[in-house]
Structure 1
Amino acid sequence: MAESGRSLTYGELDDQSRRLAVALHDLGLRKGDVIAMLSDNAPECFVIYWAALRSGLYLTAVNCHLAADEAAYIVNDCGAKVLFASGRLDGLADWVLAGSSGLESAYSFGGEVSGYESFEALLANAGDRTLAVQPRGSDMLYSSGTTGRPKGIKPPLLPITVDQPGDPLTAMLGSMLGLSADDRYLSPAPIYHAAPLRWCGAVQAHGGTVIVQERFDAEAFLRAVQDHRVTLTQVVPTMFVRMLQLPEELRKSCDISSLRMAVHAAAPCPVEVKHAMIDWWGPILVEYYSSTEMSGLTMIASPEWLAKPGSVGRAVIGTIHICGDAGAELPAGEVGLVYFERDERPFEYHNDPIKTRGAEHPRHENWTAIGDVGFVDDDGYLYLTDRASFMIISGGVNIYPQEIENALTMHPAVYDVAVIGRPDPVMGEQVTAVVAVRDGVVAGPDLADELIAYARTKVSAFKAPRAVEFVEELPRTPTGKLVKRTLVDQIR
């Protein structure tokens, strides 16, 4: 752990996850059952994760920043039989346990929680047995819920044991990123999200060292890279922006020469931001586009990106299809819904067959889309335009906020920005920029005019904001994703 210095050796991880797998079996859990984990970033998360992976169970990691009823909804909806909670979340853990109806038992670690038994005692009482068969389990994580109620994404269990090759993500990361036991991987994001959990697990599967930040802080991140001689990391574009906003002398004082690769995903990165990061860190950035559903995956390294700025790469898992509203496939260069074709649909939404069917193409059930809009060029490189649900229709013209947000992100007065459509009696919707300013900047009409004029130098005049609203803070998840549903409710 980057701040506290707590550590977990491979020997301890193996022993404790083995003990927990045995304990869960003794509690009556069998292949395909679900356990839930409510935690901040802590070493115990990986014990629970690997116990699930070595006993054929599904693990649902619950966002610890949710309201109690939202977290309890996930615990109930996933069908968890056992809940593990961090003692540092005792208030939330109390409410979630009280609001969960199907649990058979609950255990807390790192502190006592009322109604929970001791995680440490559970491990101690498991003894030295090992399960005779250790079928490969999986995560069953929930969508972020940025546009609605989160849904569980349930992949099929692989017909392998935990120590057999066959997990495509672990294999792909090993080969494409060159993972080895020499790597030191820094994870700054919450473990309950898909990429941090899965990528940390993949690094562990290849014998590398995982360093986890308790929470992201830009300066602390750079210090961790320096102090731990980090070779590999994964961030989101918002983290790039926060690092670029640090004083230049501070950035130059941090030794990041150990980094051989910096992976980024979760949201499209503004071209200007990525150019600035490559100028600073060198051409070591690797971008990928995927989702918790893992319907497909694209990837692009810095040299390719410099030739194709703005692209998220070509497909390395699945085949890309860009389709219109009626499902017809569109030619290169035309914007439409992004589908990935797989041999079979790689997921289903738990307890929601209607949403599962809604993700499928009208005529091809093995083509799935998660709501992103974009286009491919003649060379097969994908460019994302925005989420379909975020599109603004003003004067009968489709406008995608992402392009305008990217244009305003690097303005020196802007700390954070989002663009939404506000109802307009004439135009239908009015393009509105919602801005949080940097420390020391005075927000007001003069700055609003300056930002609108600045946007007009970056995007077409009809796309530029007609109004600017100033706020103290934008609603974002801890991974940096903007919760536009909440923002629209606040501003409208």
Structure 2
Amino acid sequence: MIDVALAVEHLSAEINAAMPRIEGNYATVSKQFEWRIPEHFNYAVDVIDVWARNPQLLALIAVDADGRERRYTYADVSAITKGLAAGLQKQGVRKGDRVLIVLPRIAEWQLAMIACIRLGAVVIPCIEMLTQKDLAYRIGHSEARAVITTAANVEKLHPVSDALVRISVDAPEHWLDFWRLAKTDDGTLNTPAIAADDPAIMYYTSGSTGMPKGVLHASRALYAWRVSAWYWHGLRPGDVMWCTADTGWSKAGTAILWAPWSTGCTVFFYNGPFDPSKRLELISRYRISVFCAAATEFRHLVAQDLPSFKAPALRLTVSSGEAVNPDVIVQWEKATGCRLLEAYGQTETIMTVANQVGEERRAGAMGRALPGCTLGVLSAERTRRLAGEVGELALRLPNPQLMLGYYKDRDRTAAGSVEVDGERWWLTGDLGRLDEDGFVYYEGRVDDIISSAGYRIGPFEVESALQEHPGVLECAVVASPDPERGEIVKAYVVLKNGVNASALLVTELQDHVKRTTAPYKYPRRIEFVDDLPKTSTGKLLRRLLRDREFGRP
């Protein structure tokens, strides 16, 4: 008879052989921790296939809005993704090819991601809210070789997908069927060697200027991101983790896939609308032990009947992307009896700072640097700031979590880091300060990026959409404070002669933006003005408008 616990412990040791998990307090772990990235690393082979040796180990529980449930062991995931990888290979997808994955929160998302990684293809996860224009840009910019989606998205992809290998979960005419392709198991799969620095995944993220940037990460990052599972989530085999992030965001990759499956725990995946009472019911019914959600969700959850909420398995809740209000943390922790730990990271680095399991937490702080990460604060003149002084947060390099670079943009990649006193630092674009004990406090953005309910929104994309409306002469988009979403998109609009401002026009402009770009980017507030603040050379001064919104002098 197999000793399951002993088998899992053995497999865990094999997976983490290059970089073992260090136990102890923050000071001990930070001092003893060192990055040991293997020369070659294929997440599908070196993580999924290893856990698959224990046929009883549950990897995924996928549930839809109607309550239909599918369960997959690691052995299932291994077998299915081998078949799908073989099918993709027969269709001409090779190592280094880019593959768009436009799928909702369904099991096929993880399966598609792992199958592509197995082949050495570069996955580009995309949220379903993206418009035809958004998808066309990503396909063209990345020079994608294939796309995996559902029938619901085919119409948006049709005009730009003719040259692609087209795969659909519920295949319409002229598209390959996902599950039929996954049954390609004829022993012909040729799994390539994957070096640690080979490209593995690319996220498109908004910038303060221009179109979205392709943030390209290496295979080494898929290995390194397990650190957040160890020290922020505290995950181990037997845990059931639920992260509600959308599938196109980097947080989904780390908290739904790379980090939790590196620890051998079970991932819970729910494809249904946000309903706070349903969230609580699912946490209880599926014995979720670690729950991860955006601050906006927690604001709604604490408004429910929490005294009657029973979740005996829940031991930890976590959040990132926007600050959770202190009163919300107090209400949640009092009702559930478990801590709510926040963290900080970027698409370019993923998590680098966290309030860590079992460690001290300080009011207002995002936490301390995760093991293997060193955070500093730099002045505008690129000198190190002292404790308590505000400057730009920076990550000391080298660090395996940092991206390979912005795809097809060497200049922007090079501009993202600076040398200070003989050391190289990655500039986060965020303002902050560190106290004497290394706790990190967020103080805002250096640039104009808007963070709304966990979504990063670049003003340029919204401004470009507004400018396409025939009544708009010019516009400026900035962040505006909001008690529920943290920040929302606000547009200052100058109308063309003869066009009159009205409530009806506000709605018309909002609907226009929703049709032109991803709907979550639309301006929730619009103010009509006669002119916009600019420099003597005509450059828009969004900063002055942003300061006005936040009441800054």
- Identify whether the pair has TM-score above 0.5, normalized to the shorter chain: yes
Q: How does 1:221-240 map to 2 (within 5 A)?
A: 221-240=279-298
Instruction: Give the deviation of 1:66 after TM superposition.
Output: 1.4
Deviation at 1:45, TM superposition (A): 0.6
CA distance in 1 between counterparts of 2:521 and 2:389 reads 26
Partner AA of 2:88 in structure 1: L
Q: Which residue of 1 aligns with 2:165?
A: 105
- In the alignment, residue 415 of structure 2 is paired with which amino acid? G
Relative to structure 2, which stretch is displaced further, 363-372 or 280-289?
363-372
Question: Whose RCO is larger (CA < 8 A, sep 6+)?
Answer: 2
Answering whether residue 213 of structure 2 is matched by residue 151 of structure 1, we say yes
Deviation at 1:380, TM superposition (A): 1.3
Kindly provide the CA deviation profile for residues 227-266 of structure 1, in whole angstroms up to 9, marking residues without a partner as x.
00111121111111111233xxx32222122111111111
Residue 262 of structure 2: aligned partner: 205
1:94 aligned residue: 155
Q: Following the alignment from structure 2 to structure 1, what is the Cα–Cα distance between the partners of residues 428 and 209?
A: 12
> Which residue in 2 is equivalent to 1:309?
363
Is residue 277 of structure 1 aligned with residue 341 of structure 2?
Answer: no
Q: How far has the Cα of 1:114 moved from its partner? A: 4.5
Change (3 A) 1:418 1:292: closer
TM-score normalised according to structure 2 size: 0.66
Structure 1 segment 43-442 matched on structure 2, within 5 A: 43-87=107-151, 89=152, 92-100=153-161, 103-109=163-169, 111-133=170-192, 135=194, 138-144=200-206, 149-158=211-220, 167-174=223-230, 177-201=233-257, 202-215=259-272, 216-246=274-304, 250-294=305-349, 297-301=352-356, 306=361, 308-316=362-370, 317-343=372-398, 346-361=403-418, 366-390=424-448, 405=481, 409=483, 418=487
Q: For each residue in 1:345-399, what CA deviation from the matched residue of structure 2 results, as whole angstroms up to 9, or x when unmatched?
A: 543111222322332236578422232111111211110112223599xxxxxxx
Inter-CA distance 305–243: structure 2 relative to 1 (3 Å threshold) = farther
CA distance in 1, matches of 2:449, 2:208: 15
Counterparts of residues 437-456 of structure 1 (less than 5 Å):
none
Cα deviation for residue 275 of structure 1 reads 2.5
Change (3 A) 1:386 1:12: same
Query: Cα RMSD between the aligned structures?
Result: 3.6
- Rounded to whole Å, the distance in 2 between the matches of 1:100 and 1:334 is 51
**1:14–1:391: structure 2 CA closer, same or farther, 3 Å change rule?**
closer
Distance 2:449 2:389 in 1: 16
Give the CA deviation at 1:153: 0.9
Pick closer, same or farther for the CA change 1:326–1:488 going to 2, 3 Å: farther
Distance 1:251 1:128, change over 3 A: farther
Per mean C-alpha deviation after superposition, the further-off stretch among 127-136 and 4-13 is: 127-136
Q: Does 2:72 align with 1:14?
A: no
1:26 aligns to 2:90 (yes or no):
yes
Residue by residue over 1:48-75, the C-alpha shift from the partner in whole angstroms, topping out at 9 and shown as x without a partner, is 1111222222110112101111122112
Do the aligned partners of 1:61 and 1:192 also contact (CA within 8 Å) in 2?
yes
Q: Which residue of 2 aligns with 1:462?
A: none
The aligned length equals 412
Alignment CA distance shift 1:423-1:77 (3 Å): closer
| Secondary structure in 2 matching 1:200 | helix
Kept in 1, the 8 Å contact 2:81–2:114? The answer is: yes
List per-residue Cα deviations over 1:181-239 (Å, max 9, x = no partner). 21111122212211122222232333322111214321111111110011112111111
> Hey, what's the Cα distance between the residues in 1 that align with 2:381 and 2:175?
51
Alpha-carbon distance, 1:157 to partner: 3.3
Distance of aligned partners of 1:419 and 1:34 in 2 relative to their CA distance in 1, 3 Å threshold: closer
Fraction of identical pairs, as percent:
19
- Partners of 1:112 and 1:491 lie apart in 2 by 46
Is the 1:283–1:303 contact (alpha carbons within 8 Å) kept by the matching residues of 2?
no
| Inter-partner Cα distance in structure 1 for 2:97 and 2:519 | 33
Say whether the 8 Å CA contact 1:53–1:135 is kept in structure 2: no
Structure 1: unaligned runs, 5 residues or longer = 160-165, 393-400, 410-414, 425-468
